[in-house]
Amino acid sequence: MTEPERRALGQRRRLIFQNLANGVPTEQIRTALHVSDTEIDQARAFVVKKINERLFLSRQPTIPCQSMADIRWHRATLLAVLSKMGDLDLSTTVHLLGKRDGTTEEVTVKKLLIQSMDHPEMIEGAKARMAEAHA
């Protein structure tokens, strides 16, 4: 893939993600950009991974974006990080630094499960377990 093609791919992924994050319906994105639902889903997932990769490499907490509700909830942060990324960043595969010579190596990062604790009993149980672990 040539550099202009990679830039165009990155621009397309950025545009799809920005529209999704801002609440544009997928039907409207599909007709305006002439893309399928599968391409929209792939672009969304790819951009989220690249944003979390950027956050991870800069030692910032990653953002759980498992659903459109998550993306809309974290929209401001996601779009701020996305604005700092170039089009070529959005056209490469997801990589994390892993070799001493400075090259990158593709790795699979397991998904982290974050459990929300909304019941007082759950919070008290977690406090007790933490106190036992640090005692």
Whole-angstrom distance, CA of residue 108 vs CA of residue 56: 14
| CA dist 128 → 13, 59, 80, 115, 134 (Å) | 45, 29, 38, 17, 10
Which residues in the chain show pLDDT less than 50? 97-114
Q: 105 forms bridges with which residues in the sheet?
A: 96
Q: Taking the domains of the chain in order of start, what are their residue ranges?
A: 3-109
* pLDDT given for residue 12 in this prediction: 94
* pLDDT given for residue 65 in this prediction: 86
Q: 104 forms bridges with which residues in the sheet?
A: 97
What 3-state DSSP class applies to 21? Answer: helix
Q: Tell me the DSSP string of 44-82.
A: HHHHHHHHHHHHHHTT------SSHHHHHHTHHHHHHHH
Q: What's the pLDDT tens digit per position in 84-120? A: 999 888 887 655 544 444 444 444 444 444 455 566 7
Residue 55 CB-density burial (10 A; 0-12 exposed, 13-18 middle, 19+ buried): middle
* pLDDT given for residue 108 in this prediction: 46
* pLDDT given for residue 13 in this prediction: 94
